[in-house]
Structure 1
Amino acid sequence: MDSRAASCTCGQLRIEVQGEPLGVGLCHCLACQRRTGSVFAALASFAAPCKVLGTATEYVRTGDQGAKFRFRFCPVCGTTVFHTEEGCEQSSVSVAVGAFADPSFPAPQDSVYDCRRHSWVRLPDGIRSYDKDPT
């Protein structure tokens, strides 16, 4: 099984995942915009287990539907590298696509919170879009 590694800007925090992503998506919610400092977040979900190297600082945020998400970021450079949903830590992890620094990474299949998408952001052809989070 192929592995992939993602890391923060300074390299102190890394995560290694196995196999292909379970899914790749974009989130345009205001919380992700604030968290990333960008106009959307690009995330890839991978099946557990994963291997984390380095030290992470954590921030827990409650989503619109009550789920709690634990974001891990580097305490040195501040880069958000991955997050898990509380209660699902043993099954999957979501990794920031940019942390792989791989332009050939698979394209997103889904886009959520399109009600918050900036009007000038164009989605790839064939992507499924949802006004809110469909889960």
Structure 2
Amino acid sequence: MVKRLGGCLCGKVTYSVEGMPIRVGICHCTDCRQESGSAFTYFGIWPASAFETSSGETHQYAGRQYCRSCGSRLFACDAEEAEIKLGSLQDAPTGLAPTYELWIKRREPWLPALPGAEQFDEDRTQGGN
């Protein structure tokens, strides 16, 4: 079984996730743009049972966890799913290609659609990604 390690920029928060993600996507919504400081965010969804925080303490804002020391955005986790910011994984490239894009109506016009990825004007399903 594949085990991926991740963490924050300063190294105080580390986590692991096992197996393959349920799905991988990118999101262009205003929240993701502002939270990431970029034109989109790149994330993977795993079952919550596959995710484990190894070390460190995080702060939370609107369900999103980030490092208290360096501010790295890392993950969001509820009872069912863990959403991992794939840029926080230790090994790059990850080999995890997005299969869908959310909120494409907010995608920058100079940024082309991902070939083969399903496109959604807003959320993939009602209530979130």
Please tell me the residue identity of whatever aligns with 2:117: I
Aligned partner of residue 34 in structure 2, secondary structure: helix
**2:122 pairs with 1:132:** yes
Q: What TM-score, normalized to structure 1? A: 0.86
Q: Which runs of 4+ in 1 moved over 4 A?
A: none
**2:73 pairs with 1:77:** no
Aligned-pair identity in percent equals 29
Please tell me the residue identity of whatever aligns with 1:99: S
Q: Which consecutive residues of structure 1, in runs of 5 or more, have no partner in the other structure?
A: 61-69
**2:88 pairs with 1:99:** yes
CA RMSD in angstroms, aligned pairs only: 1.1
**2:110 pairs with 1:117:** no
Take 1:105 and 1:10, find their aligned partners in 2: how far apart are those partners? Answer: 24
Take 1:120 and 1:91, find their aligned partners in 2: how far apart are those partners? Answer: 36
Q: Which consecutive residues of structure 2, in runs of 5 or more, have no partner in the other structure?
A: none
Please tell me the residue identity of whatever aligns with 1:72: Q
Tell me which residue corresponds to 2:42: 42
For the 8 Å contact 1:46–1:94, the answer to whether it is kept is: yes
How many residues of Structure 1 are paired with residues of Structure 2 in the alignment?
A: 122
Please tell me the residue identity of whatever aligns with 1:117: R
Take 1:21 and 1:126, find their aligned partners in 2: how far apart are those partners? Answer: 18
